Chains A and B, each alone.
Chain A
């Protein structure tokens, strides 16, 4: 995995992916690519409840540069989708880069067998599973139940139905979802870190500027790294252990191929 720190989010994203071999290593010519940021809340970027719009824009541009035919950016939001898409600035940023930014409409959810430990039949967003590649770009936030919300938790935005019930067995659920969707690449936005009252907060008091972007194909690694940004130990987070046991990846993110660059 790669970690890049620097004042320019677009450059950091580019560098982080470049360190993994460039977007061409993940996206092929003519691909339809589904990009999944966190657009869940009716919040503005500086409140750090939604993925940084520059990060989204840069990822979309890179995917197109790698030869993608079509890029879809969407999320199943918690607040009103129109407000979330607009106030997060993600819609305008992604459209500027040429992506389609549709609202997740009910008819486009299909019931599938997730074959998870706890999640069996559930509605998932059709365009996300039909796309050739899925790129996950969560923002690193505190979460009042799971402690943190990073790459695995971000998968909840691809399912429909009464998702609130997942909270009863959240670590198992998000591992199930990650195992099902198998994103091609995870790019973690830690430009602004939401340290408290997550996942929605609503005040800049809870935000710390970290100017950091991490990228990996391994969701366990990236989540384990993300946890350390909060000063916590990955071992204390159940989804890390469960994810590792299920073979989704490894929690010792520094073990192999770890590259860290400071662009300051």
Chain B
């Protein structure tokens, strides 16, 4: 069983990484694979989005499959499926080997309730409208960290290697490696080197999560993970796979305790803690006298589940209650933030932040690398939710990939045709910087790139003289407010590269009733 579990873990991790890599444009409007599948099956994502936004979406039903399986198998998801769990298993393995059976090192039994308090905090916060689950949900955490933090680094490293071998022009070797490199671009490597604001910080948080394995194998899973806590509560009966230790055979060697992936104390006999059990089968495999069996039974085979302190539960709930007002008094609530440009299809701001789980899927898939995690633009409640930064990447007119990958519907699923009608902001010119206005030379780059069939950038033409005194028609660009959708390609392509002479701000965004310029729009 232990080997079977390992195979399952490895296959699910590979599957996860394949889906992650496929979360990119691959030559057709529709993504071929269900890249957000792990998030769809995640009950914590579904529950927190449901509580915070008071909206039930049919996709949440998928997570019920995990719920039902958990009732019978306990936290099998943690032990057999979760990609972060598998990464922790792999890293923690090196530590497990060093642990001595007779010492109690590597375990912090008193920490076991912490994850339940974290879960309480997250769920209570969700009830009051702050969707904080995504920060700590392992699937969301992993996708975000890989997309924003790791993927750019890995790409940089691999690209630097191949670009060095290319520039060295070694006979035979350089061309061969370059063919390999060309084949990797857009398949295993990103099409273009990804760059994200805050990438290093989001990546470092993940390093810390993985680094916790130094304290104890699978420290995150054992003591902190809110999804693990939720599954532990759902699956505490673990009807189909309960650990049962035969006290007469047991020689008290404690090998099972060291091998235990969770902190489920199969020894002392009778103190097995079902909520902590990851159904990993290590205890049964490692027992030298076959005292451990794992079987379907309704009998109580262990009473080791830790009591959750009422005062701590209360404190967590109260803490959540108090933090909701604290995180939701961002300045953007008083007045719209001009640079909070949300992807097309995004719900109205309040419902958007309640629904978004900050998983980073939309940022990973964005064709132009234009979607970035917010920092303060949307307040603390909206930290790491997506914002379009047009100087770094624009919204491609014919693309709706972000709406395809959003797991919670924070970005509504819109067709490409629907999407073309959605305004996400409005471009305005800075006439002190714009080349025709400020320097009397023609440019028209913004108009040329403007994607709306009826151009949202038109010209005011006037007679002018160039440096040599020759007459020419100077074309000064003007925005048509009713046609501009705020895609930002004008800002991205503007030759005034540092602070572009045309900039998009959030006004006129379709999703807002307040953030509007014209009376009749």
Residues of A within 8 A of B (CB): 42, 78-83, 86-87, 102-103, 105, 107, 143-145, 162, 164-165, 167-170, 197, 199-203, 205
In the complex, which residues 439-474 of chain B have their Cβ closer than 8 Å to any Cβ of chain A?
441-445, 447-455, 459
CB <8 Å contact, A42 and B398:
yes
Q: Is B58 an interface residue (CB 8 A)?
A: no
Tell whether B166 is near chain A: CB-to-CB under 8 Å. Answer: yes
A86 touches B28 (CB 8 A): yes
Say yes or no: is B375 at the interface (Cβ < 8 Å to chain A).
no
**B281-334: which have CB < 8 Å to A?**
none
The answer, yes or no, to whether B258 is at the interface (CB within 8 Å) is no
B428 within 8 A of A: no
Cβ distance B69 to chain A, nearest Cβ, rounded Å: 39
> Given known contacts A78-B448, A107-B166, A197-B453, what 6 new A-B pairs fall within 8 Å (CB)?
A42-B398, A103-B185, A103-B191, A143-B448, A164-B443, A167-B442
Q: Which residues of A contact B453 (CB under 8 A)?
A: 197, 201-203, 205
User: CB-nearest residue of chain B relative to A202?
Assistant: B453
Nearest B residue (CB) for A238:
B472
| Nearest CB in chain B: distance from A151 CB, A | 18
Q: List 20 A-B contacts (CB under 8 A).
A: A42-B396, A42-B398, A78-B449, A78-B493, A82-B27, A82-B186, A86-B27, A86-B28, A102-B182, A103-B185, A107-B167, A144-B444, A144-B447, A144-B448, A145-B444, A145-B475, A167-B444, A167-B495, A202-B397, A203-B454
Contact B191 A82 (CB under 8 A): yes
B25 within 8 A of A: yes
Does B435 belong to the interface (CB within 8 Å)? Answer: yes
Interface readout for B365-398 with A: 1 if CB under 8 Å, 0 if not?
0011000000000000000000000000000111
CB A16 to nearest CB in B, in angstroms, measures: 29
Q: Which of B55-98 contact A (CB under 8 A)?
A: none
A81–B452 Cα distance when bound, in Å, is: 19
CB atoms of A165 and B495 under 8 A apart = yes
When distances are taken between beta carbons in the complex, the residues of chain B under 8 Å from A170 are: 442
Which chain B residues have a beta carbon within 8 Å of chain A's beta carbons? 25-28, 163, 166-167, 182, 185-186, 191, 367-368, 396-399, 435, 441-445, 447-455, 459, 475, 493-495, 497
Chain A nearest Cβ from B495, distance in angstroms: 4
Min distance, Cβ B215 to any Cβ of chain A, angstroms:
43
Picked from B398, B445, B447, B475, the residue with its CB within 8 Å of the CB of A87 is: B398
On chain A, the residues within 8 Å of B166 by CB distance are: 107
Q: For residue B448, which residues in chain A have a CB less than 8 angstroms away from its CB?
A: 78, 143-145, 199-200
Q: Complex Cα distance A143/B25, Å?
A: 29
B452 cross-chain contacts in A, Cβ below 8 A: 202
CA distance A67 to B211 in the complex (A): 61
Return chain A residues, CB-CB under 8 Å to B367: 80, 83
Q: How far is the CB of A29 from chain B (nearest CB, A)?
A: 23
Whether B451 lies near A168 (C-beta < 8 A) is no
The list of the 5 closest CB pairs from A to B, nearest first, reads A203-B453, A164-B495, A164-B445, A145-B444, A202-B453
Asked if A167 contacts B443 (CB within 8 A), the reply is yes
Complex Cα distance, B368 from A230, in Å, reads 35
- Which B residues are CB-close (under 8 A) to A105? 182, 185
Specify which chain A residues have a CB less than 8 angstroms from the CB of B449 in the assembled complex.
78, 200
B398 CB contacts on chain A under 8 angstroms:
42, 83, 87
Complex CA gap A42/B489 in Å reads: 13
Complex CA distance for A199 and B493, rounded to whole angstroms: 15
Say whether A162 contacts B167, CB under 8 Å: no
Smallest CB-CB separation from A199: which chain B residue?
A: B448
- CA–CA, A102 to B166, complex, Å? 16
| Complex CA–CA separation, A170 to B435 (angstroms) | 14
Is B493 within 8 A of A80, CB to CB?
no
Give Cα distance in the complex from A107 to B163, angstroms: 7
Task: Tell me the complex Cα distance, A103–B184, Å.
Answer: 13
Report yes or no: A42 in contact with B191, Cβ–Cβ below 8 A.
no
B232 to chain A, nearest CB (A): 44
Residue of B nearest to A169 (CB): B441
Give Cα A138 to B449, complex, Å.
18
CB distance from A228 to the nearest CB of B (A): 21
Residues of A within 8 A of B450 (CB): 200
